[in-house]
Protein backbone atom coordinates (compact mmCIF):
# COMPACT_ATOMS: atom_id res chain seq x y z
CA UNK A 1 0.00 0.00 0.00
CA UNK A 2 2.87 2.40 0.83
CA UNK A 3 6.47 2.77 -0.25
CA UNK A 4 9.49 4.77 0.91
CA UNK A 5 10.42 7.72 -1.28
CA UNK A 6 13.65 9.36 -0.16
CA UNK A 7 12.90 8.95 3.54
CA UNK A 8 9.21 9.90 3.21
CA UNK A 9 6.24 7.62 2.81
CA UNK A 10 4.48 7.72 -0.56
CA UNK A 11 1.56 5.89 -2.14
CA UNK A 12 2.39 2.40 -3.28
CA UNK A 13 1.06 0.85 -6.48
CA UNK A 14 -2.11 -0.51 -4.86
CA UNK A 15 -3.22 2.87 -3.51
CA UNK A 16 -2.22 4.57 -6.73
CA UNK A 17 -4.53 2.18 -8.62
CA UNK A 18 -7.37 2.91 -6.17
CA UNK A 19 -7.03 6.61 -6.84
CA UNK A 20 -6.52 6.26 -10.58
CA UNK A 21 -10.10 7.30 -11.31
CA UNK A 22 -9.37 10.58 -9.61
CA UNK A 23 -6.69 11.28 -12.20
CA UNK A 24 -3.19 9.90 -12.37
CA UNK A 25 -1.68 12.44 -10.02
CA UNK A 26 -4.64 13.80 -8.07
CA UNK A 27 -4.14 11.65 -4.97
CA UNK A 28 -0.48 12.55 -4.62
CA UNK A 29 -0.88 16.18 -5.67
CA UNK A 30 -3.83 16.71 -3.29
CA UNK A 31 -1.76 16.07 -0.17
CA UNK A 32 -0.49 19.64 0.42
CA UNK A 33 -4.03 21.05 0.08
CA UNK A 34 -5.40 18.39 2.42
CA UNK A 35 -2.64 19.03 4.95
CA UNK A 36 -3.36 22.76 4.86
CA UNK A 37 -7.09 22.11 5.35
CA UNK A 38 -6.47 19.71 8.24
CA UNK A 39 -4.09 22.16 9.92
CA UNK A 40 -6.47 25.12 9.45
CA UNK A 41 -9.50 23.26 10.81
CA UNK A 42 -7.93 20.83 13.26
CA UNK A 43 -10.29 18.19 11.84
CA UNK A 44 -9.97 15.09 9.69
CA UNK A 45 -9.99 15.62 5.92
CA UNK A 46 -10.64 13.29 3.01
CA UNK A 47 -10.67 13.13 -0.78
CA UNK A 48 -13.44 11.02 -2.32
CA UNK A 49 -14.21 9.88 -5.86
CA UNK A 50 -17.36 8.30 -7.19
CA UNK A 51 -17.42 4.55 -7.84
CA UNK A 52 -20.82 3.61 -9.25
CA UNK A 53 -23.43 4.11 -6.55
CA UNK A 54 -20.81 4.63 -3.84
CA UNK A 55 -17.90 6.89 -3.03
CA UNK A 56 -14.35 5.78 -2.47
CA UNK A 57 -11.96 7.47 -0.04
CA UNK A 58 -8.68 7.87 -1.95
CA UNK A 59 -6.89 10.13 0.56
CA UNK A 60 -7.42 10.72 4.27
CA UNK A 61 -5.61 12.71 6.95
CA UNK A 62 -6.72 12.41 10.56
CA UNK A 63 -7.28 15.20 13.04
CA UNK A 64 -4.63 15.53 15.76
CA UNK A 65 -7.41 15.35 18.39
CA UNK A 66 -8.01 12.05 20.15
CA UNK A 67 -11.76 12.38 19.42
CA UNK A 68 -11.93 12.46 15.62
CA UNK A 69 -13.62 10.97 12.60
CA UNK A 70 -11.68 8.24 10.85
CA UNK A 71 -12.31 7.33 7.22
CA UNK A 72 -9.61 4.97 6.01
CA UNK A 73 -8.28 5.07 2.47
CA UNK A 74 -10.20 2.46 0.50
CA UNK A 75 -13.44 2.90 2.46
CA UNK A 76 -16.56 2.70 0.30
CA UNK A 77 -19.44 4.83 1.57
CA UNK A 78 -22.93 5.57 0.23
CA UNK A 79 -23.40 8.50 -2.14
CA UNK A 80 -26.74 9.52 -0.67
CA UNK A 81 -25.50 10.16 2.86
CA UNK A 82 -22.86 12.65 3.92
CA UNK A 83 -21.67 15.89 2.38
CA UNK A 84 -19.06 14.33 0.07
CA UNK A 85 -21.62 11.93 -1.35
CA UNK A 86 -24.01 14.77 -2.07
CA UNK A 87 -21.22 16.71 -3.81
CA UNK A 88 -20.41 13.69 -5.97
CA UNK A 89 -24.07 13.38 -6.89
CA UNK A 90 -23.69 16.75 -8.58
CA UNK A 91 -24.97 19.39 -6.16
CA UNK A 92 -24.36 22.69 -7.92
CA UNK A 93 -23.27 24.71 -4.89
CA UNK A 94 -19.85 25.85 -3.60
CA UNK A 95 -20.07 23.48 -0.63
CA UNK A 96 -22.44 21.05 1.07
CA UNK A 97 -22.79 20.48 4.81
CA UNK A 98 -24.41 17.59 6.65
CA UNK A 99 -24.96 17.01 10.35
CA UNK A 100 -25.39 13.50 11.77
CA UNK A 101 -26.46 12.23 8.37
CA UNK A 102 -24.00 9.35 8.03
CA UNK A 103 -22.85 8.99 11.64
CA UNK A 104 -24.39 10.20 14.91
CA UNK A 105 -22.38 13.05 16.45
CA UNK A 106 -20.49 13.85 13.22
CA UNK A 107 -20.77 16.85 10.92
CA UNK A 108 -19.02 17.43 7.61
CA UNK A 109 -18.52 19.97 4.84
CA UNK A 110 -17.43 19.09 1.31
CA UNK A 111 -16.64 20.96 -1.90
CA UNK A 112 -16.38 19.70 -5.47
CA UNK A 113 -13.16 19.20 -7.40
CA UNK A 114 -13.89 19.80 -11.08
CA UNK A 115 -11.99 18.91 -14.23
CA UNK A 116 -11.28 21.37 -17.05
CA UNK A 117 -14.76 20.75 -18.49
CA UNK A 118 -16.39 21.58 -15.15
CA UNK A 119 -17.34 17.97 -14.37
CA UNK A 120 -17.12 16.98 -10.71
CA UNK A 121 -14.36 14.37 -10.40
CA UNK A 122 -13.81 14.35 -6.63
CA UNK A 123 -14.91 15.88 -3.34
CA UNK A 124 -12.73 17.40 -0.63
CA UNK A 125 -14.25 16.92 2.81
CA UNK A 126 -13.62 18.00 6.38
CA UNK A 127 -15.38 16.08 9.15
CA UNK A 128 -15.41 15.99 12.90
CA UNK A 129 -17.45 15.75 16.06
CA UNK A 130 -20.31 18.23 16.38
CA UNK A 131 -18.82 19.48 19.66
CA UNK A 132 -16.08 21.15 17.59
CA UNK A 133 -17.59 21.55 14.12
CA UNK A 134 -20.99 22.80 15.41
CA UNK A 135 -24.36 22.15 13.82
CA UNK A 136 -23.47 24.70 11.14
CA UNK A 137 -20.10 23.41 9.93
CA UNK A 138 -20.49 25.15 6.57
CA UNK A 139 -20.42 28.56 8.23
CA UNK A 140 -17.20 27.56 9.97
CA UNK A 141 -15.35 25.56 7.27
CA UNK A 142 -17.15 26.13 3.95
CA UNK A 143 -14.73 28.74 2.61
CA UNK A 144 -11.70 26.68 3.68
CA UNK A 145 -13.02 23.56 1.92
CA UNK A 146 -13.69 25.53 -1.27
CA UNK A 147 -10.12 26.89 -1.22
CA UNK A 148 -8.76 23.36 -0.63
CA UNK A 149 -10.78 21.99 -3.57
CA UNK A 150 -9.45 24.76 -5.82
CA UNK A 151 -5.91 23.97 -4.65
CA UNK A 152 -6.44 20.29 -5.54
CA UNK A 153 -7.66 21.31 -9.00
CA UNK A 154 -4.62 23.49 -9.51
CA UNK A 155 -2.12 20.93 -8.20
CA UNK A 156 -3.64 18.17 -10.35
CA UNK A 157 -3.58 20.34 -13.47
CA UNK A 158 -7.35 20.65 -13.65
CA UNK A 159 -7.29 24.47 -13.77
CA UNK A 160 -6.04 26.71 -16.51
Q: Tell me what pLDDT residue 159 has.
A: 79
Question: How far is it, in rounded angstroms, from Cα 36 to Cα 146?
Answer: 12
Evaluate if residue 20 carries a pLDDT over 70. Answer: no
Question: How far is it, in rounded angstroms, from Cα 92 to Cα 102?
Answer: 21
**17 vs 137, residue with greater confidence:** 137
For the chain, how long is the longest CA-to-CA vector?
42
Q: Tell me what pLDDT residue 19 has.
A: 45
> Is residue 51 one of the residues assigned to a domain?
yes
CA angle 63, 98, 115 (to 5 degrees): 80
Average pLDDT of the residues of the chain:
89
Hey, CA dihedral for 130, 131, 134, 137, is it positive or negative? Answer: negative
Question: Which residue(s) pair with 50 in the sheet?
Answer: 55
Evaluate if residue 17 carries a pLDDT over 50. Answer: no
Q: Tell me what pLDDT residue 1 has.
A: 58
For 19, list phi and psi in degrees, rounded to 5. Answer: -90, 0
The total number of structural domains in the chain stands at 1
> Is residue 78 one of the residues assigned to a domain?
yes
The model's pTM is 0.85
> Is residue 21 one of the residues assigned to a domain?
yes
Q: Which of 108, 98, 111 is nearest to 148 (CA)?
A: 111
> Is residue 101 one of the residues assigned to a domain?
yes
- Within 10 angstroms of residue 112's Cβ, the number of other Cβ atoms is 25
Per-residue pLDDT tens for 80-111?
A: 999 999 999 998 899 999 999 999 999 999 99
Q: Are 23 and 10 in contact (CB under 8 A)?
A: no
Evaluate if residue 123 carries a pLDDT over 50. Answer: yes
Per-residue pLDDT tens for 69-84?
A: 999 999 999 999 999 9
Q: Tell me what pLDDT residue 156 has.
A: 92
> Is residue 137 one of the residues assigned to a domain?
yes
- Which CATH number fits the domain that encloses residue 111? 3.30.450.40
> Is residue 72 one of the residues assigned to a domain?
yes
> Is residue 160 one of the residues assigned to a domain?
no
List C-alpha distances in Å: 135 to 71, 105, 152: 20, 10, 26
- Give the single-character DSSP code of 20: G
Per-residue pLDDT tens for 37-63?
A: 999 999 999 999 999 999 999 999 999
Read off the pLDDT band of 16 (50, 70, 90): very low
What range defines the domain where residue 134 resides? 2-155
Amino acid sequence: MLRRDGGRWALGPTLARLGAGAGPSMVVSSRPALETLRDATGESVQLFVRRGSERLCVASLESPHSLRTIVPVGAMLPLGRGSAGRVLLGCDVPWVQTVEEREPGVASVSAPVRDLAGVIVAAVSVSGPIERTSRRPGARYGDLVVVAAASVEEAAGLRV
